[in-house]
Amino acid sequence: MFEIVVGTNNAKKLVELRLLLPEDSIRLLTLAEIPGSIDVEESGETFAENAAIKATEQAKHLGQWVLAEDSGLTVDALGGQPGVYSARYAGAHGDDEANNDKLLAELQGVPDEQRSAYFNSYLCLSDPAGKVVLESHARCAGRIAHARQGKAGFGYDPLFIIREYHRTFGDLDLTVKRAISHRSRALRKLVPQLLKLCV
């Protein structure tokens, strides 16, 4: 059994990852399940830099394989914001309601055709010595709604409209989200390489 620590305390992220990986060969643990894990400062200027920092620093500290992700929302009309500050766009880290409120306020009066946006996901796997072994990234295109729609998901999901479905991630069930989300796409790119390490 190949054991990987997923560099997050977010149980919702782990559910999505577990659904895409074979349970019989890869065991995933969250930081919450590992005593002595550290809070790694996300000091990078890009999603890729933050993912690498989180994976390598945690791996060296724990002496274990660590898969870290940095993801966020980029909105064209806002010059790419909130970007790497997505989780703390309104100030406090992880305040989804405040972040969504700020995004809606920033886009007030902006017409639909100018509300294009992307969810981005960067994954980085570090070995226990802190060496980057695998990397992957993907994005999912959409548009920002004028008001929240749906109760599912987390973060900006209730505002992110998938054009093909004319619904937000907050409105779509997990099966659909798993098929098209930025995180799932990035992980699907990583899985074949990851499985080779387990042989």
**pLDDT one-digit tens code per residue, 95-128:** 999 999 999 999 999 999 999 999 999 999 999 9
pLDDT at 3 over 70: yes
Give the pLDDT score at 199: 64
pTM for this model (two decimals): 0.90
Residue 46 in marked binding region: no
Residue 13 in marked binding region: yes
**pLDDT one-digit tens code per residue, 161-195:** 999 999 999 999 878 887 888 988 998 899 888 88
Residue 165 in marked binding region: no
Residues taking part in catalysis: 70
Give the pLDDT score at 194: 86
Nearest in space to 121 (alpha carbons), one of 140, 107, 108, 102: 140
**pLDDT above 90 as % of the chain:** 64
Residue 70 or residue 9, greater confidence: 70
Residue 48 or residue 33, greater confidence: 48
Give the pLDDT score at 67: 95
CATH architecture of 2-198: Alpha-Beta Complex (3.90)
Give the pLDDT score at 138: 96
Nearest in space to 61 (alpha carbons), one of 84, 29, 34, 80: 34
Coil/strand/helix, residue 103: helix
**pLDDT one-digit tens code per residue, 54-109:** 999 999 999 999 999 999 999 999 999 999 999 999 998 889 999 999 999 999 99
**Considering Cα of 5, then 18, then 117, then 105, what sign does the dihedral take?**
negative
Cα(99)–Cα(128) distance, integer angstroms: 35
